[in-house]
Every structure is written in C-alpha cells, then in structure tokens.
Amino acid sequence: MTAITTEVSSRICQHMNEDHSDAVLLYAQAFGGLKEATAAQMQAIDPEGMDITTLVNGETKLVRIIFDHVLKDSEDAHHTLIAMLKEARVKAE
C-alpha cells in the first residue's frame, strides 16, 4: 500500500497523460462537466480528487474532480480510475 504522496501523484499523472490521455479527456467531459473539451492533462491527484487542465474552445480551463470516496492508497486510485473510466464511457454513449 503506497500513500498518495507528491511523488506518487506525479507518477500517476505522467502515466495517465502518456498512456491514457483519452481516459483523462473522458474524465473531464463526464465528471468535470466540460463536454466540449478537446484535450486534457491530469495535473495532480490526491486522496480527495484530481486536477485536470483542459482545452475548451481554444481556452485552457482547470477542473477539479472529486472522488466518491477518499482514496486509501495508490492501488485504490488505480481501481477508482478504472471504475470512473467505465462510468464515463457509459455516460458518453
């Protein structure tokens, strides 16, 4: 169990932005209320939520997405992000 420290947040964000940028965009659209966002990058994640910068109509906007529970550790973050992605995909249909 690895606590979500600043270093862990940076690692998660780098992984999500490099390997799962489509998921980050879906989070912003589905949970951040920014359906018109065309690009997104995860800036930080902590036990309560995540900060994502988005591109909306040529403007950069920051959105804070609160989780439905306080994350216990990085494994909880992993499972929560997967569950949120599945939910976001359903919302997008």
Q: Rounded CA gap, 81 and 24, in Å?
A: 9
Range of the structural domain that residue 63 is part of = 6-92
Three-state DSSP class for residue 4: coil
Report pTM.
0.93
| pLDDT per position as a tens digit, 44-75 | 999 999 999 999 999 999 999 999 999 999 99
3-state secondary structure 17-37: HHHCHHHHHHHHHHHCCCCCE
| pLDDT per position as a tens digit, 19-33 | 999 999 999 999 999
- pLDDT at residue 30, as a whole number: 96
Quick check: is 1 in a domain?
Answer: no
CATH of the domain at 55: 3.20.180.10
Q: Could you give the dihedral angle defined by the CA atoms of residues 51, 11, 67 and 63, in that order, rounded to the nearest 10 degrees? A: 10
Instruction: Give the count of beta carbons closer than 10 Å to the beta carbon of residue 39.
Output: 13
Q: How many domains does the chain have?
A: 1
